[in-house]
Amino acid sequence: MDFQKELESIFSGKVSIDDETLEINSEDTSIFHVRPKCVVYPKDVQDVQSLLKFAADNPEVTLTARAAGTDMSGGPLTDSVVVSMTKHFNKIYSVSEEFAVTQPGVFYRDLEKETLKQGVILPCYTASKELNTVGGMVANNSAGEKSLTYGKTEKWVRSIKMVLSDGNEYEFHKLTREDLEAKKSLDTFEGQLYRDIDWIIHEKIDILRKEKPVVSKNSAGYSVWNIWDEEADTFDLTQLIVGSQGTLGIITEITFALMKPKKHARMLVMFLRDKHMKVLGEMVNTVLKEKPESFESYDDKTFGIMLRIFPKLLKKLGGNPFKLMLDFLPEVKMILTGGIPKLVLMAEFVGDTEEEVVLAANRAQKSVLASFEVSTHVTKTQKEGEKFWTIRRESFKLLRENVHGKHTAPFIDDISVRPEKLPEFLPKLYAIMADYKLIFTIAGHIGDGNFHIIPLMDYSRPDFSKIIRELSERVYKLVGEYDGSITGEHNDGLIRTPYLGQMFSEEMLSVFKDVKNVFDPKKIFNPHKKVDGDMDLLLKSIKKEVKE
């Protein structure tokens, strides 16, 4: 089929089939390379509807929405049609002190500029907030450094407009029981959708209650258990759409709730050595008792790279270079006395007054020192804490850009277990990793028990695919034994969908398939993600080499 000719006859946006565009859209930040047939840039909702009609008339065509391409799971990769949303679906309609209404292709950094003018933020922003879009955040149910206190994207979405497989645009938001019954009475595709999803929930309520993940962060599977709030008796399909990774329809508009951040902050920084790794779980739980707003971490590999590119980091931080050098003296002193730390923990305490946050940070420091011999430092100013946030937010980018010969290989990069289980879980995890003698980095949201473990590997090594398959199976089996999630925020994509059976029962997997069939009976949207995982496709799609 001549995709370009066929689409241009029904479509007002651009259709691209040139090699450069196809190559750019063949990769995200995952380990995969999948070349699409073409990339389209819809100008408006009518263009999206035209795409749906085209796909419905041509069963071999599927549609995969894509935004900034920062996904680490292969979520926006396809061998069919990529629907790129950043070129035209990038309008911010309104921002107030309570809500923001925006299109999905808006970059978070641009939305934040507008929300800060109102003194508010969208607190579920990610570590890659300078790079990602809000549509990607919704698709993956993303989260970041403030998720410990404010939760994931699912908690901040108030309504979603989306074009479904029948080619119509619908708006989804929280419904009362009366509202739901009115929707179910409609003799339309929408009415049938509400009837079917409501039936699935009540028919499978026991399995939903039993298999709802007990961790604070989960992006695995469809969040069917979040649709019906039993206590309030409300029904909210946005809770299903968030995290569905573009497999149920194409999002065209999002309304977010916003919040006013606290004015003051202090950070407790802890430098951990090898000896502390055995008590990491206990240390985390000690700090959590003091209720930090954020609790993050990064490891010695990231710290070492930071030292190598120190001049670049100073430039990134901005301000007076001499003053910044002085700001790093406490860390220099700790390095001189104990060497580069194995892991750096950052617990930030926030409040309405300076006195409040200083007391909270000092109280947490005292609790840690009462039980553990560890180097600690409480930042003197809020600005001082920014240097640690810069390192943490830039950690993955630093690794990708400054480690030569080996490359980041995210495939077990997003596991999550409850913090109280870390003392048992972590030693077993490290023992598994030790069997493979890999160089790997650890960063993440340690307060949520959500770790980003990213091996640094040579993609051309002959056993690369074997290690990915074998190590994934072992790590996910361990995660399952501790009732954890195989993905806290990065989602399933190509990399984890085949492993959902290690987290959920066959009955739960069949519920996911039923949900997909209700929304997308013609299998138009983003195949092989969330359901119909394909191990052969996973292995076939792995890059053979990485461009320097």
Listed by start position, the domains of the chain span 3-87, 92-257, 264-481
Instruction: Say whether pLDDT at 111 is over 90.
Output: yes
Across residues 208-228, what is the average pLDDT? 97
The mean of the pLDDT values for the chain is: 91
What confidence category does residue 322 fall into, taking pLDDT thresholds of 50, 70 and 90?
Answer: low
- Burial (CB count within 10 angstroms: exposed 0-12, middle 13-18, buried 19+), residue 196: middle
Q: Which residue has the tokens 């695919």?
A: 465
Alpha carbons 152 and 131: distance in angstroms, whole number: 18
A 10 A CB-CB count for 343 gives 22
- Range with lowest mean pLDDT among 63-72, 253-262, 307-316, 418-427: 307-316
Instruction: Say whether pLDDT at 217 is over 90.
Output: yes
Instruction: Say whether pLDDT at 128 is over 70.
Output: yes
Backbone angles phi, psi at 65, to 5 degrees: -70, 145
- Identify the H or E element spanning 424: helix 422-434
User: Structure tokens of 282?
Assistant: 């206990």
Alpha carbons 472 and 533: distance in angstroms, whole number: 15
- Which fold, 3-87? 3.30.43
Across residues 173-199, what is the average pLDDT? 98
Alpha carbons 454 and 399: distance in angstroms, whole number: 10
3-state secondary structure of 423: helix
Report the DSSP beta bridge partners of residue 95: 100
Across residues 113-122, what is the average pLDDT? 98
Whole-number pLDDT of residue 157: 98
User: Structure tokens of 343?
Assistant: 């892991």
Distance (Å) of CA 298 to CA 141, 305, 306, 456: 22, 12, 11, 15
CA nearest to 206, candidates 461, 517, 507: 507
Q: Which residue has the tokens 């080499």?
A: 545
Superfamily of domain 264-481: FAD-linked oxidases, C-terminal domain (3.40.462.10)
Whole-number pLDDT of residue 2: 72
| Amino acid occupying residue 47 | D
Instruction: Convert the pLDDT of each residue in 477-519 to its tens digit.
Output: 999 999 999 999 999 999 999 999 999 999 999 999 999 999 9
Report the DSSP beta bridge partners of residue 525: 63
Instruction: Say whether pLDDT at 324 is over 60.
Output: no
What confidence category does residue 280 fall into, taking pLDDT thresholds of 50, 70 and 90?
Answer: confident
Q: Which residue has the tokens 């909702």?
A: 45
Whole-number pLDDT of residue 298: 83
Across residues 392-400, what is the average pLDDT? 66
User: Structure tokens of 50?
Assistant: 């035209």
Instruction: Convert the pLDDT of each residue in 15-51 to its tens digit.
Output: 999 999 999 999 999 999 999 999 999 999 999 999 9
User: Structure tokens of 383?
Assistant: 């600005």
Contact 243, 219 (CB under 8 A): yes
Taking the CA of residue 418 as centre, how many other CA atoms within 13 Å lie in the half-sphere pointing to its CB?
Answer: 9
DSSP for residue 107: B
Instruction: Say whether pLDDT at 313 is over 70.
Output: no
Whole-number pLDDT of residue 366: 97
CATH code: domain 92-257 is 3.30.465.10
Instruction: Convert the pLDDT of each residue in 415-460 to its tens digit.
Output: 999 988 888 888 899 899 999 988 888 888 999 999 898 888 889 8
Contact 183, 175 (CB under 8 A): yes
Whole-number pLDDT of residue 488: 96
Whole-number pLDDT of residue 214: 95
Instruction: Say whether pLDDT at 117 is over 80.
Output: yes
Whole-number pLDDT of residue 415: 96
Task: Tell me the three-class secondary structure of 292-326, residue by residue.
Answer: CCEEEEEEHHHHHHHHHCHHHHHHHHCCCHHHHHH
Instruction: Say whether pLDDT at 78 is over 70.
Output: yes
Q: Which residue has the higher pLDDT, 441 or 206?
A: 206
Alpha carbons 303 and 404: distance in angstroms, whole number: 16
